Structures are given as C-alpha cells and as structure tokens.
C-alpha cells in the first residue's frame, strides 16, 4: 500500500479490526460497556466510526444492560442509531434470554435452580410493569411449559388461583413454580404477595398439585418463599 493510500484509509478501519481481534483473543472480560456496544455496532453500521455512537448510548442509558432493556423507539432516538442498529441490540437481548431458557429445558430444575433463576432475572428484572409467570413441571421436575398469566401496573398484579389451576390441569403439570417481578427493584414481598402465595398453594394442594416456590425478582436480586422457610 502506498503512503498516499495509507493516508486516505479511514482511521476506524484498523480500529474495527483491533477490537474484533481483541475479542477473539481474550473475550469480553476487559471490555468497557461502550466497547461491547461498539463491537456489536460494527456489524450493523458500516463505513463509519461507531465509537461515538456507542458512547452516546451509554450517556443516554447509563449502562450496557439498560441499553439492551430500553424500548426500541428510545434506542432509535439516540443520534446515529437507525432501525437496523436498534434491532441488532434488541436481538442481542432476546438471544440472551433464549439461550438461558434453552439451558433449563429437559433438566430437573429443582436440582439446579440457579439456571432457572438466572433466566428469570435476565428476562424480568428490568421490566417496567409487574409480570406474573408460571413454570409448569412434569413428574421429572422438567419444565414443560412457561406462561405469563398476568401483566399489570407497577403497583400490583391481579392473579387468580382458579385460572392458574385450570392451566396446570391443561398442561398435565405435577408441580408449579411462580415468578413475578417488582419494578421498584426491591424483591421483598408485600402483604398482597404473601396472601396470594397462600391462596395459590391452597388451591393447588386441593388438586394434589405441588407448589415448589414463589420467587420475586428485583434488580438487586430475588426473594424465594421457599428459601425463607415460608413454603
């Protein structure tokens, strides 16, 4: 390559190669939040320096996780981000949840509950509204079905025991695990949560269906009724 051609070559070309080589050699362990976004954006935005765009995303949402959790319209409001780039970021987020859910299929989730908790924390911790999910298990404690039975406001979720038991019978489930999130971030149960859990356990027991746990997901962690000795 001639000296003139080297001068004409955009500076970001070599930088793109360096950041990809860095990932290939050591993974993401030494990457900063904006650098992970920068690497992702190289696959969506061509012929452009994407470092400033990546830094604008962090400036707008504070953390890498918050970027991926943000609504697609909000991501597209960041200067330099079009629909193609926003879709890539949301796809990355959805692929993560898909991967974590695949890890718990055809496995005894009671013998290794961490994978189940990890999946639910990833998919629920940063939701803006409360969501109540039911995990339906077979006699081998394998997940046979997952269903969102209620999505509500940030204040409370109306969950009806009869509806859940009907779903359990349809799925031929032997046992259940409940998950719901607290958008406030604090996973501590409310009085409503405690009363709901009692009602669900009572309704399930009447039909010989076991409830293994009710887990509340928050940004800072989770609360397990079983681990706290309440089930």
Per-residue pLDDT, 4: 46
| Domain covering 3-99 in this structure, CATH number | 1.10.150.20
Task: Give the residue-averaged pLDDT of 18-25.
Answer: 93
Task: Give the residue-averaged pLDDT of 88-113.
Answer: 90
Q: What is the average pLDDT score of the chain?
A: 89
Is there a contact between 174 and 208 (Cβ–Cβ < 8 Å)?
Answer: no
Is the pLDDT at 67 greater than 70, yes or no?
yes
Per-residue pLDDT, 216: 95
Is the pLDDT at 136 greater than 70, yes or no?
yes
Q: What is the four-CA torsion angle of 93, 97, 102, 103, rounded to 10 degrees?
A: 110
Per-residue pLDDT, 10: 66
| Confidence tier at 157 by pLDDT (50, 70, 90) | low
| Confidence tier at 14 by pLDDT (50, 70, 90) | confident
How far is the C-alpha of 124 from the C-alpha of 103, rounded, in Å?
17
In this structure, of 103-117, 128-142, 198-212, the range with the lowest mean pLDDT score is 103-117
Task: Give the residue-averaged pLDDT of 173-182.
Answer: 96
Sort residue 97 into left (φ over 0), alpha (ψ -120 to 50) or beta.
alpha
Give the domain ranges of the chain: 3-99, 107-224
| Confidence tier at 127 by pLDDT (50, 70, 90) | confident
Is the pLDDT at 193 greater than 60, yes or no?
yes
Is the pLDDT at 154 greater than 50, yes or no?
no
Q: What is the four-CA torsion angle of 155, 160, 164, 170, rounded to 10 degrees?
A: -130
Under 8 Å CB-to-CB from 183, ≥6 apart: which residues?
Answer: 127, 128, 129, 130, 154
How far is the C-alpha of 74 from the C-alpha of 136, rounded, in Å?
35
Task: Give the residue-averaged pLDDT of 155-173.
Answer: 84
34-49 pLDDT, tens digit per residue, is 999 999 999 999 888 9
Is the pLDDT at 1 greater than 50, yes or no?
no
Per-residue pLDDT, 7: 55
How far is the C-alpha of 20 from the C-alpha of 53, rounded, in Å?
17
Check: pTM over 0.85? Answer yes or no: no
Per-residue pLDDT, 156: 52
Per-residue pLDDT, 88: 96
Write the DSSP assignment of 97-149 as a string of letters: HHHHHHHTTTS-TTTSHHHHHHHHHHHHTT-SS-EEEEEEE-TT--EEEEEEE
Is the pLDDT at 13 greater than 60, yes or no?
yes
- β-strand pairing of 143-151 with 210-218: unpaired
For the 107-224 domain, the top CATH level (class) is: alpha beta
């Amino acid at each position: 390559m001639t000296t003139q051609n080297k001068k004409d070559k955009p500076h970001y070309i070599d930088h793109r190669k360096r950041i990809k080589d860095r990932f290939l050699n050591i993974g993401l362990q030494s990457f900063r939040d904006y650098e992970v976004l920068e690497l992702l954006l190289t696959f969506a935005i061509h012929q452009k320096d994407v470092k400033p765009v990546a830094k604008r995303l962090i400036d707008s949402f504070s953390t890498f996780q918050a970027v991926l959790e943000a609504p697609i319209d909000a991501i597209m409001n960041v200067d330099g981000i079009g629909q193609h780039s926003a879709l890539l970021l949301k796809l990355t987020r959805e692929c993560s949840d898909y991967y974590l859910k695949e890890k718990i299929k055809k496995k005894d989730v009671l013998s290794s509950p961490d994978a189940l908790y990890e999946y639910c924390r990833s998919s629920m911790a940063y939701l803006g509204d409360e969501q109540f999910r039911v995990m339906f298990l077979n006699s081998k404690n394998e997940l046979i079905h997952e269903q969102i039975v209620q999505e509500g406001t940030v204040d409370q979720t109306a969950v009806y025991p009869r509806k859940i038991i009907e779903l359990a019978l349809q799925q031929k489930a032997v046992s259940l695990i409940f998950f719901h999130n607290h958008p406030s971030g604090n996973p501590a149960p409310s009085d409503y949560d405690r009363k709901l859990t009692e009602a669900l356990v009572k309704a399930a027991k009447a039909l010989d269906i076991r409830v293994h746990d009710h887990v509340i997901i928050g940004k800072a962690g989770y609360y397990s009724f079983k681990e706290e000795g309440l089930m």
